[in-house]
Structure 1
Amino acid sequence: MDVIFLGVNDIGFRIYEWLCQRDRVEMIAMLTEQNQLDLIQKQEPDLVVSIGFSYLVPPEILDVPSEGALNLHPSFLPYNRGMNPNVWPLIEGTPAGVTLHYMDTKFDTGDIIAQRKVETDFSDTGKDLHERLEEAQFDLLTEVWPEIEDGEIERTPQGDRAESYHSKADFIDLCELDPQNEVRIKAFLDRLRALTFPPFDNAYIEIDGEKYYVDIDIRKAVNESEDKNDGLLSSY
């Protein structure tokens, strides 16, 4: 099976290396830029696999591979199509997960091949969930791949199921904290932990002309029966 890979992120490179070791896969190229897509028309691969490729692939390119074009998206589609799918489940309470699906003319709307939910916890940051989603992506793709090689995969249309989509602009807006806003504590903590992704600076607030970055660390109590006063400073 001749394959062209579209990818730019860490898990994309990891899966690319795994596919290169498959006896039944001939990896023709890895493309990372939109202006490289014409190579697909020239090479006419059997399959295109996309992981972390942020550009919309035009229909004339999607029509080339005889076995179609697949995308591995780190969300439980149809929830959280688009950008930063590790952020929104922590804020909106939507299911987190990963989905392998066929690509079509829109972002993350094609027929589903397989998907898996990923659990979340109130102590999770955006980075925590991102790392868990990456592992789930690898597990799902490597589990399903033999069926892809054998041509035994089934497809399930997403249809008119409830959906959510987020753009890069949505994420940028989320990062700015307005010092004049009144907030509910739980919702605000959800926002801060979703934006916590060291070493990157995401959430910020401007006070008296100065810009401050904000991260958060939420830890689950190890022993809920321990003395509630442990760790408090004594005044005497």
Structure 2
Amino acid sequence: MIKLLLFADGHVGCEVARWLIAHYRSDIALVVTTTDNDIAASARNAQLRTVAFESSEQVLRFAKSEGLSFDLGLLAWWPKLIRQPLLSLARRGFINTHPSLLPYGRGKHYNFWSIVDRVPFGVSLHMVDEGVDSGDIVAQLEIPYGWEDTGGSLYRKAIDAMLTLVQEAYPRLRNLDFETRHQDLAAGTFHRGSELEPASSIPLDQTCEVRDLLNRLRARTFPGYPACTFTDGDDVYEVRVDIKRKPR
């Protein structure tokens, strides 16, 4: 029987944890959360060991004190980078849930950059290495998108698709018989978090293709979050776009 080390956070992490507890509870050796939250409560209710993350050293100490060993680690929407020696805690390594169709959309703000860079979109499970979203691919689902999509709609589609991907892939993962394939990083895209705001600022005198402008506007259209901006004199304006296909 597999011994799974689950790191879980956010909506996706909560849904993955609940699904695993409902269907594969005996696989889970330890649940790690960011705080004492609903995921931790679900784990405790299922009589599973759980710990709130403070540092890699703390998790290593906890596992040692409890006499725990692990075959596989799963990062379900985990917000922190996992480095050595924590990476070696699971015998077959860690698998990460990443909301882009790797090697496209590595790094931050995948939903924005997939539209702006005009690249395929989807969700991926990949092995964790010392790089950023650069490990070998385990499984993927492509998500088609078009002109009516926005950064917000891609985010919501990724949330739904990620749970589906985990559910489809986990029977293979728990048997440790899954295959991987190398990422062609040179053919993909990568963006840092610091790139979002400069790319969202639109100078009024800038010359650009209309397609690129519309893509930037819809990529940053996400209800409840900031949009693209432009400045006229002393005033700064936010601008969003709503694109609908006309009936034929």
Gapped regions of structure 1 (runs ≥ 5): 225-236
Bigger Cα displacement from structure 2, 113-122 vs 202-211? 202-211
Corresponding residue for residue 79 of structure 1: 104
Aligned pairs (5 A) from 1:208-219: 208-219=233-244
Aligned residue pairs, count:
223
Q: Which has the higher helix share?
A: 2
Please report how far the alpha carbon of residue 62 of structure 1 lies from its aligned counterpart in structure 2 after TM superposition. 0.4
Pick the aligned partner of 2:136 from 106, 111, 128: 111
Matched, 1:176 2:201: yes
Amino acid at match of 1:106: G
* Structure 1 equivalent of residue 14 of structure 2: 13
Percent identity between the two aligned chains: 25
Between 206-215 and 30-39, the greater mean CA deviation after superposition = 30-39
The residue type equivalent to 1:193 in the other structure is: R
TM-score with structure 2 setting the length: 0.83
Q: How does 1:1-236 map to 2 (within 5 A)?
A: 1-21=2-22, 22-32=24-34, 35-42=54-61, 43=63, 44-159=69-184, 161-221=186-246, 223-224=247-248
Superposed CA deviations along residues 100-121 of structure 1, whole A, max 9, x for unmatched, are 1110001111111111211011
- Give the Å deviation of 1:160: 5.3
Unaligned runs of 5+ in 2: 36-52, 64-68
Amino acid at match of 1:23: R
TM-score (norm: length of structure 1): 0.87
Separation (CA, whole Å) in 1 of partners of 2:58 and 2:4: 12
Q: Give, in angstroms, the shift of residue 161 of structure 1.
A: 5.0
Of residues 92-101 and 156-165 in structure 1, the stretch that sits farther from structure 2 once superposed is 156-165
Q: Deviations over 1:39-94 (max 9, x none)?
A: 44231433221133233211211011113111011111111100111112211111
8 Å Cα contact 1:56/1:106 also seen in 2: no
Change (3 A) 1:26 1:53: closer
